[in-house]
């Protein structure tokens, strides 16, 4: 097949307290949707050492050349900062986000600041300096229609401390009751055989595109000046329609 290699990251299985689907269900869904990789980031505080071993083994059991299930963890740090550790499965006995992110990278994983809206679009220079990237589009918090411009501005500011920072998009998927929304596409020939290492290498190098129906951006997360106003307009349209919908349901 000569189709692009697409997948989703920031996915929670039933190993997380708020996840619904088993690894096998997620794997079957991914194959049916044409995804060739799934980046799991289950909540570290929900898993014992034995459960992390099970998560690793189940991901391996449900992976093949058609779809790779990549194990990972989401760490809750001080000040409610959440760090995704994509590709690592070991606990980090620390609550400092800077040390957590640095350890994730030391173990060969990807360290990504998750849903920065929770931190009021702030990332300290110290944390920026040890991250691989920032989740500038989170389908769960930002919606699946269009990302907020505030996340792009955050990424630009954070690059003053780390010029290599990348912009990621996460599905923040907890169940299969609706589509993931935010998809990641690797910039590689769809014919190649992939494994976890290949996917992580391309994500780490920024050779990917994040997108949904209306918006796409590359791994650098950079928008042309002419694209800023359309993105702002789309975001405002989304916020207005969401407000009307919420008001209608509230009055029902």
Q: Which contacts (CB < 8 Å, 24+ apart) does range 224-229 have?
A: 228/149
Residue 184: pLDDT above 90? yes
Task: Give Cβ neighbours of residue 208 (< 8 Å, ≥ 6 apart).
Answer: 184, 185, 186, 187, 202, 218, 219
Enumerate the H helices of the chain as residue ranges. Answer: 23-33, 49-61, 97-106, 125-128, 139-142, 149-158, 196-205, 225-251
What confidence tens digit (pLDDT) does each residue in 53-67 have?
Answer: 999 999 999 999 899
Residue 226: pLDDT above 50? no
What CATH number is given for 5-222 in this structure? 3.20.20.140
- Over residues 130-146, the mean pLDDT reads 94
3-state secondary structure of 43: strand
Kindly state the tokens that stand for 72. 């990972």
Determine the Cα–Cα distance for residues 219 and 206; give it in Å rounded to an integer.
5
- Over residues 150-173, the mean pLDDT reads 96
Alpha carbon 152 to its chain centroid, in Å, reads 15
pLDDT at 224: 47
- Say what percent of the chain tops pLDDT 90: 76
Task: Tell me 179's DSSP state.
Answer: -
pTM of this prediction? 0.89
Domain ranges in the chain are 5-222
Residue 229: pLDDT above 60? no
Strands, sheet with 183-186, edge to edge from the N-terminal-most edge strand: 68-70, 37-40, 5-11, 183-186, 208-211, 216-218
Residue 80: pLDDT above 70? yes
Residue 231: pLDDT above 70? no
Instruction: Characterize 19-36 residue by residue with b for buried, 16 or more Cβ atoms within 10 angstroms of its Cβ, and e for exposed.
Output: bebebeebbebbeebebb
């Amino acid at each position: 097949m000569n189709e692009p290699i697409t997948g989703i990251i920031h996915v929670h299985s039933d190993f997380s307290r708020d996840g619904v689907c088993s690894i096998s269900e997620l794997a079957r869904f991914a194959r049916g949707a044409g995804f060739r990789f799934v980046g799991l980031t289950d909540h570290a505080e929900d898993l014992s050492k034995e459960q992390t071993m099970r998560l690793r083994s189940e991901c391996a059991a449900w992976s093949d050349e058609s779809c790779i299930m990549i194990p990972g963890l989401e760490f809750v740090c001080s000040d409610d900062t959440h760090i995704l550790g994509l590709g690592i499965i070991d606990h980090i006995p620390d609550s400092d986000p800077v040390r957590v992110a640095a350890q994730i990278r030391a173990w060969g994983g990807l360290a990504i600041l998750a849903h920065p809206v929770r931190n009021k679009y702030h990332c300290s220079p110290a944390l920026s300096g040890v991250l691989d990237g920032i989740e500038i589009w989170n389908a769960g918090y930002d919606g699946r229609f269009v990302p907020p411009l505030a996340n792009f501005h955050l990424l630009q500011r954070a690059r003053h401390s780390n010029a290599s920072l990348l912009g990621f998009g996460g599905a923040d998927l907890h169940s299969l009751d609706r589509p993931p929304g935010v998809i990641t596409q690797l910039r590689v020939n769809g014919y190649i055989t992939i494994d976890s290492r290949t996917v992580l290498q391309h994500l780490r190098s920024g050779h990917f595109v994040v997108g949904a129906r209306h918006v796409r951006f590359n791994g650098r997360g950079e928008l042309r000046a002419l694209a800023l106003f359309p993105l702002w307009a789309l975001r405002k349209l989304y916020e207005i329609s969401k407000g009307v919908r919420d008001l209608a349901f509230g009055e029902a």
